[in-house]
Amino acid sequence: MRIAMGQLASGTDTAANLRTIDAYAARAAADGAALAAFPEYATYEKKMIDSTFPTVAQPLDGEVGRELSRIARHHGIAVVAGLVESSPDPSRAYNTLAAFGPDGALLAAYRKIHLFDAQGFRESDYVAPAPTTDPVVFDVDGVRFGLMTCYDVRFPRQAEALSDAGAHVLLACSSWVPGELKTKQWRTLLAARAIENSLFVAGICQAPPVSVGNSLLAGPMGDVLAELGLEPGVLAADITPEELASVRAHFPTRSQRRYL
């Protein structure tokens, strides 16, 4: 299967962000990708999360969700993108990844579990955590994808739970805040989650200056199979589930695990 990573430089103009997603999805489909994944906060983003996020939040079937569904259906490709979803608390939104199938149907919605209350940020001031910690997975053409968002990558048990739920590929849709050693940590953590779980891990990031860029696809041995630099763009790469079987046969850590 071929999947595409769409690295964006999203801002507060939701319509403009959606136009870029549409253009990148078209390019991904033309390149033979079955799925195109976009970053956290793909449809609305700022350098600092503030009180505007709850005000722009919409339900999954609102205008933003309907347009993402249309994009997927129009190009015949699965689309995963971060959006700001309304929550029961009007003062806080959900940071949500929505996955739409090539027919436009909603395949899955993942609300971020681990909010970024670190590095001087307080995401939880304006964003509500997911009401459940259950792993969120969905299937496209027989390949199972697991969803996680940005700061989640620092929590190995979440990736492990997605692996236990049958994921072949983790989509880590992110807006990784810049800082000392942050790009190195981003790359290292993605590779570590891939190695630990014998999975493919696609880290799809916002571009500078809001984030660090460097979207990449790590293979189950931790090798980088494809990567983008600092500029916005879209890049497709192939994943082979057969490679997972080979790696897991050589390193059967899943069956050897002894803790609960």
Question: What does the block give as tokens for 48?
Answer: 């600092």
Q: How far apart are CA 162 and CA 191, in angstroms?
A: 16
Q: Percent of the chain scored above 90 by pLDDT?
A: 93
Contact partners, residue 252, CB within 8 Å, separation at least 6: none
What does pTM read for this prediction? 0.96
Residue 250 CB coordination number (10 Å): 10
Summarised one tens digit per residue, pLDDT across range 45-69 is 999 999 999 999 999 999 999 999 9
Give me the pLDDT at residue 256, please: 81
Q: How far apart are CA 179 and CA 196, in angstroms?
A: 26
Q: How far apart are CA 206 and CA 177, in angstroms?
A: 9
Q: Is residue 259 scored above 80 in pLDDT?
A: no
CATH architecture label of 2-256:
4-Layer Sandwich (3.60)
Give me the pLDDT at residue 241, please: 82
Place 86 in a pLDDT band, splitting at 50, 70 and 90.
very high
Q: Is residue 38 scored above 90 in pLDDT?
A: yes
Q: Where are the alpha helices (DSSP H) in the chain?
A: 14-30, 52-56, 63-75, 156-164, 182-197, 241-250, 253-256
Summarised one tens digit per residue, pLDDT across range 180-238 is 999 999 999 999 999 999 999 999 999 999 999 999 999 999 999 999 999 999 999 99
Give me the pLDDT at residue 108, please: 98
Give me the pLDDT at residue 7, please: 98
The residue extents of the domains of the chain are 2-256
Q: Is residue 17 scored above 90 in pLDDT?
A: yes
Three-state SS sequence of 177-208: CCCCCHHHHHHHHHHHHHHHHCCEEEEEEECC
Average pLDDT, the chain: 96
Long-range contacts of range 12-15, CB-CB < 8 Å, 24 or more positions apart? 12/44, 12/45, 12/46, 12/52, 14/43, 14/44, 14/56, 14/64
Q: How far apart are CA 224 and CA 168, in angstroms?
A: 16
Q: Is residue 109 scored above 90 in pLDDT?
A: yes
How far apart, in Å, are the Cα atoms of 87 and each of 58, 93, 158, 212, 245?
A: 9, 5, 22, 28, 40
Q: How far apart are CA 95 and CA 126, in angstroms?
A: 10
Summarised one tens digit per residue, pLDDT across range 117-129 is 999 999 999 999 9
**What phi, psi does 89 have (nearest 5°)?**
-95, 110
Question: What does the block give as tokens for 234?
Answer: 């879209």
Place 257 in a pLDDT band, splitting at 50, 70 and 90.
confident
Give me the pLDDT at residue 260, please: 64
Q: Using an 8 Å Cβ cutoff, are 4 and 28 in contact?
A: yes
3-class DSSP assignment, residue 146: strand
**What phi, psi does 172 have (nearest 5°)?**
-100, 85
Residue 255 CB coordination number (10 Å): 6
Summarised one tens digit per residue, pLDDT across range 138-170 is 999 999 999 999 999 999 999 999 999 999 999
Give me the pLDDT at residue 165, please: 97
Q: Using an 8 Å Cβ cutoff, are 37 and 5 in contact?
A: yes
Looking at the annotation, which residues are catalytic?
40, 112, 150
3-class DSSP assignment, residue 120: coil
